[in-house]
């Protein structure tokens, strides 16, 4: 047997010495690529008037979510230190609970006391109705009985404010309620047993198809809207539930996030389909601490009704989430690269192209600064194109 060791060829040794460093550099580059991408990819920015809401507390408490000051372009409702509910502004639909109504252009700046022993209040952004929750878990409402929201006429349900009854005194809507929120035309309630209930309507002027809203025959008959003319049980075993104008969300006892409502841009965090609405709650995330449909806000920062109401921190086609580890995510409009054409109905009918993400992605939440926004807008030239528009939206500004 030949036991003489074989010597490697000099050219082979030279090639190995040359290629080995190249191989090491290539492997290091591949491993470092995600970190490099992360360092250059700035998460999209969204603004809020209440940045403290994204600070993670030691434990979740439903009472921290109570609304004691609510301001829209038509009304202000507030709860004083003695748990009395007060309101002022317009009273077109009887939403001040005084037993009377006024014309739309009649405004009163004098607060009227509506109820006592109140812990939370909310109202429609359009001033249609107001709801409030008492210390003993009773949910009351007053204003327009549109879609039988206030539960006063099951036989003759009105689908427009002109024909809806005006409930000018508070009426009991539900008992054993732990929390409740008002959408533009809907109500979401969390009961003390952990069940979540929703009723009213989600209907956007934007849609995948050119569908003109019609008078629905029953709750699921109209593809242009999501409707229930009586409280509909959606979930059990929940600790929190809320709604925006078009979408709703709830958190289960074990931190699972469920969403429902408008999903034309994947704002529910679930794939876009042929139906613009998620009509049955869908589980989309785990380990969730808090969720905000459309706007990161509880109490309004205003103490009076402004002459012109601004909506600079309202993102109608997004849902925001904070995980238990403090990470903030969002899904929906202008968060991804997937494109979609949608139609706007009504007097300003048009087809437009938008981008979206139907999965939750990391975002940055910043305190709203009017001066910062003016500076960013001032950097643009006249005739803003889509590239410039994208620059704005990545910084949380809605053109």
Q: Write out pLDDT tens, residues 341-353.
A: 888 776 666 788 9
> How does the average pLDDT of the chain come out, rounded?
84
The alpha helices in the chain, defined as continuous H runs, are: 10-40, 370-378, 386-394
For residue 65, the SS3 value is helix
Q: Tell me what pLDDT residue 378 has.
A: 59
3-state helix, strand and coil shares in percent for the chain, rounded to the nearest 5: 15, 40, 45
Inter-residue contact 336 to 356 (CB < 8 Å): yes
What pTM value is reported for the model? Answer: 0.83
What is the C-alpha to C-alpha distance for residues 132 and 372, in angstroms, rounded to an integer?
36
What is the C-alpha to C-alpha distance for residues 353 and 360, in angstroms, rounded to an integer?
21
- Tokens coding 243: 């709604």
Inter-residue contact 108 to 92 (CB < 8 Å): no
What is the C-alpha to C-alpha distance for residues 83 and 336, in angstroms, rounded to an integer?
44
- Tokens coding 200: 């009213």
For residue 30, the SS3 value is helix
Q: Tell me what pLDDT residue 388 has.
A: 53
Average pLDDT over residues 237-256: 98
Inter-residue contact 339 to 208 (CB < 8 Å): no
Paired sense of beta strands 177-182 and 118-123, if any = unpaired
pLDDT tops 70 at residue 391: no
Confidence of residue 30 (pLDDT cuts 50, 70, 90): very low
Residue written as tokens 């042929």? 274
**Contacts of range 168-172, beta carbons closer than 8 Å, 24 or more positions apart:** 168/94, 168/97, 168/98, 168/99, 168/100, 168/101, 168/142, 169/94, 169/97, 169/99, 169/142, 170/97, 170/114, 170/115, 170/132, 170/140, 170/141, 170/142, 171/140, 171/141, 171/142, 172/138, 172/139, 172/140
**Domains of the chain, start order:** 62-332 (2.130.10.30)
pLDDT tops 60 at residue 215: no
The alpha helices in 143-231, defined as continuous H runs, are: none
Write phi, then psi, for 150 (nearest 5 degrees): -95, 5
Q: Tell me what pLDDT residue 395 has.
A: 57
Q: Which of 33-42, 151-160, 230-239 has the lowest mean pLDDT?
A: 33-42
Confidence of residue 204 (pLDDT cuts 50, 70, 90): confident
pLDDT tops 80 at residue 155: no
Beta-carbon contacts of residue 245 (< 8 Å; ≥ 6 apart): 125, 183, 184, 202, 294, 316
Q: What pLDDT, in 10s, does the model give residues 158-202? A: 888 878 999 999 999 999 999 999 999 999 999 999 999 999 999
pLDDT tops 70 at residue 107: yes
Q: Tell me what pLDDT residue 79 has.
A: 98
Query: Bigger pLDDT: 210 or 33?
Result: 210
Q: What pLDDT, in 10s, does the model give residues 302-345? A: 999 999 888 999 999 999 999 999 999 999 999 999 999 888 77
């Amino acid at each position: 047997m030949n036991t003489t060791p074989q010597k490697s060829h000099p050219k082979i040794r030279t090639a190995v010495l040359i290629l080995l460093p190249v191989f090491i550099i290539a492997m290091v580059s591949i491993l470092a690529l995600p970190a490099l991408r992360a360092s250059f990819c700035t998460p999209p920015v969204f603004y809020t008037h209440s940045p403290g809401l994204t600070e993670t507390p030691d434990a979740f408490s439903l009472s921290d979510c109570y609304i004691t000051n609510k301001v829209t372009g038509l009304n202000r409702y507030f709860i004083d230190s003695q748990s009395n509910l007060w309101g002022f502004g317009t009273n077109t639909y009887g939403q001040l609970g005084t037993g009377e109504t006024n014309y739309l252009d009649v405004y009163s700046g004098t607060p009227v006391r509506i109820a006592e022993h109140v812990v939370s209040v909310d109202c429609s952004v359009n001033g249609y109705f107001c709801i409030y929750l008492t210390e003993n878990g009773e949910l009351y409402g007053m204003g327009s009985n549109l879609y039988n929201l206030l539960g006063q006429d099951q036989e003759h349900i009105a689908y427009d404010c002109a024909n809806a009854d005006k409930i000018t005194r508070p009426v009991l809507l539900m008992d054993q309620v732990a929390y409740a929120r008002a959408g533009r035309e809907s109500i979401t309630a969390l009961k003390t047993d952990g069940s979540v209930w929703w009723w009213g309507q989600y209907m956007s002027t934007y849609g995948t198809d050119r569908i003109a809203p019609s008078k629905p025959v029953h709750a699921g008959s109209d593809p242009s809207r999501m409707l229930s003319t009586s409280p509909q049980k959606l979930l059990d075993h929940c600790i929190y539930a809320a709604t925006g104008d078009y979408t709703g969300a709830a958190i289960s006892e074990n931190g699972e996030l469920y969403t429902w409502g408008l999903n034309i841009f994947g704002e529910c965090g679930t794939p876009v389909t042929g139906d613009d609405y998620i009509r049955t709650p869908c589980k989309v995330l785990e380990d969730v601490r808090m969720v905000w449909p459309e706007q990161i806000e509880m109490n309004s920062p205003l103490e009076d009704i402004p002459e012109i109401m601004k909506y600079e921190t309202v993102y109608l086609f997004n849902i925001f989430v904070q995980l238990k580890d403090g990470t903030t995510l969002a899904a929906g409009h202008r968060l991804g690269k997937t494109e979609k054409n949608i139609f706007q109905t009504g007097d300003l009918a048009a087809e437009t192209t938008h981008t979206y993400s139907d999965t939750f992605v990391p975002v940055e939440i910043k305190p709203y600064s009017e001066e910062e926004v003016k500076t960013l807008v001032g950097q643009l030239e006249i005739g803003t194109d889509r590239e410039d528009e994208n620059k704005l939206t990545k910084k949380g500004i809605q053109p």
